[in-house]
């Protein structure tokens, strides 16, 4: 088997007396869509942020493409090929849509003309070309989520971390979002998703990792995970078992 793109080895993160992630071992395979799921407070966002480089683990190691990135900040991880979105979109509202994406494109294209060309290509790819010159503040919430994805893609990542990018969307918007995520994966980008919308995320991901109380509760193919008695008891509930 090929080397995993990402490996987490005994990763622990403490916030004072709270252990948000407890000795987590997890790998992310190249070319997969991985779903991080679990109840509120399970440690999903903390693990997501540790992989992104928002803060370091209290102990344990994280490797990316075989290199130890445990102590690297998010900026350096972005240069290496890790990009992310945010649960609450963080657009530069005083700038246009294309200017927002140019910010991401500068990671690989330091010349302004090249960065703008890259940004326009990405906007076309995600379906926001007609909004290119619109102020980011004028976008709808679903469009702002797409803008987050576009800015991340402009950095030309190998790993794209999506933080609840499908949350709060209508069914048709969710389907369109899922189609975009599949297209991104098919282009060669590995995707990790933190999501709460089970009906959307489980048919979309290749593999799911379920966290509970800071530990890995289960992992595997979605069809197997949703039948796991521990997952049902901790997360899905008896109503799911009956269904």
| 97-105 helix and 112-126 helix, angle to the nearest 10 degrees | 120
Q: Phi first, then psi: give them for residue 144, nearest 5 degrees.
A: -65, -35
CB 137 within 8 A of CB 93: yes
- Domain boundary, last residue among 140, 156, 172: 156
How far apart are the C-alpha atoms of 206 and 191, rounded to whole Å?
Answer: 10
176 and 136 assigned to the same domain: no
Average pLDDT over residues 3-28: 96
Average pLDDT over residues 153-167: 95
Q: Report pLDDT digits (tens) over 202-233.
A: 899 999 999 999 999 999 999 999 888 888 88
58 and 164 assigned to the same domain: yes
Read off the DSSP letter of residue 2.
P
Instruction: Please give the residue range of the domain that contains residue 107.
Output: 90-156
CA torsion sign for 56, 62, 63, 64 is: negative
Share of the chain above pLDDT 90, in %: 80
- Split at pLDDT 50, 70, 90, the class of 243 is low
Supply the pTM of this predicted model: 0.93
218 and 242 assigned to the same domain: yes
163 and 73 assigned to the same domain: yes
- Check residue 87 and give its pLDDT: 87
- Total structural domains in the chain? 2
Q: Is the pLDDT of residue 168 over 90?
A: no
Domain CATH number, residue 170: 3.40.50.300
Angle, CA of 17, 21 and 22, to the nearest 5°: 85
Average pLDDT over residues 81-108: 95
3 and 70 assigned to the same domain: yes
152 and 163 assigned to the same domain: no
């Amino acid at each position: 088997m090929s080397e995993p793109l990402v490996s987490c080895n005994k990763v622990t993160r403490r916030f004072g007396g709270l252990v948000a992630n407890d000795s987590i071992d997890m790998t992310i395979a190249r070319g997969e869509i991985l779903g991080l799921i679990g109840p509120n407070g399970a440690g999903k966002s903390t693990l997501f942020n540790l992989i992104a480089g928002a803060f370091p683990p209290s102990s344990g190691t994280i490797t990316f493409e075989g290199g130890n990135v445990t102590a690297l900040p998010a900026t350096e991880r972005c240069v290496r090929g890790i990009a992310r979105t945010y649960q609450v979109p963080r657009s530069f509202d005083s700038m246009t849509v294309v200017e927002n994406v140019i910010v991401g494109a500068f990671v690989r294209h330091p010349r302004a003309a090249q960065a703008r060309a890259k940004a326009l290509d990405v906007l076309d790819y995600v379906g926001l070309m007609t909004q290119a010159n619109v102020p980011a503040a004028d976008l709808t919430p679903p469009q702002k989520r797409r803008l987050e994805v576009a800015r991340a893609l402009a950095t030309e990542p190998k790993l794209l971390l999506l933080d609840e990018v499908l949350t709060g969307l209508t069914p048709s918007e969710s389907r369109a979002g899922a189609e975009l995520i599949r297209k991104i994966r098919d282009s060669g980008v590995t995707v990790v998703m933190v999501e709460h919308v089970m009906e959307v995320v489980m048919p979309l991901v290749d593999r799911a990792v379920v966290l509970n109380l800071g530990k890995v509760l289960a992992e595997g193919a979605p069809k197997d995970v949703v039948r796991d008695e521990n997952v049902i008891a901790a997360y899905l509930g008896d109503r799911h078992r009956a269904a």
